[in-house]
Amino acid sequence: MSGNFEKDSIDWQLYQLQQRMSEWFDRLFQPNGNARPSDWSLPDWVLRSLFWVIVVMMAVWIVWQLYRLLSPYLGRDWLPGRGQKAESQQQPAEKLTVAQWLQRSRALAQQGNYREACRALYMATIQKLDDRELIPNQLSRTDGEYLRILQTLPNPRPYQVLIRTHERLCFSNTEISEDTFNHCEQAYREIEAV
């Protein structure tokens, strides 16, 4: 009875499991035990497939690198949709006269679009500075640069009102009210009076 107990107890079964696992790990990591035969190799079709996959991947990579290298030199209409995107990006930079910007501003204000109406007043101001040859209009110039240059003018306050409002338009989701537009319009009138 005692022999049967030793072979059926939980302790004995855990000991046997541990013994089997340890033997299995020994066989798995034993260098000379179950090593692969020396004549083992992949089938030829696998090697050929692997070769062609590598060749195709290298060709795709080379084409991609050539595209990245040459894309600045290719025409805008080479890829579908690229020319249209470039045209839409150039549209805001259109050069209108001061009178056209003011007319656009009034029309937008009548429609209740005070955000774009203030933007049109800002553009009229920038165009007026260019027309008066006070500050040449450059697309790369920031509002901060305009504010710095405007400090040299005798009355920079109305310009500052329009530029600060433009900064709020560009860098926040603040709703532009009719009062804000009226304030900008008053600032523009002060600029015209000078």
Ramachandran region, residue 133 (left: φ > 0; alpha: ψ -120 to 50; beta: rest): left
Task: Please count the CA atoms within 13 angstroms of the CA of 12 that sit on its side-chain side.
Answer: 8
What's the pTM? 0.51
pLDDT tens readout for residues 106-152: 898 898 888 888 888 888 888 888 888 888 877 778 888 888 888 88
User: Does the pLDDT of residue 102 top 80, yes or no?
Assistant: yes
| The two three-digit tokens of residue 43, written as one number | 């089938």
- Domains of the chain, residue spans: 95-193
pLDDT value at residue 82:
47
User: Does the pLDDT of residue 173 top 90, yes or no?
Assistant: no
Q: Which residues contact 6 (CB under 8 A, 6 or more apart)?
A: 12
pLDDT value at residue 84:
43
pLDDT tens readout for residues 61-101: 999 999 888 877 775 555 554 444 443 343 455 678 888 88
- According to CATH, what is the number of the domain 95-193? 1.20.120
| The two three-digit tokens of residue 173, written as one number | 């989701």
pLDDT band at 40 (very low <50, low <70, confident <90, very high): low
What mean pLDDT do residues 21-38 have? 68
pLDDT value at residue 28:
72
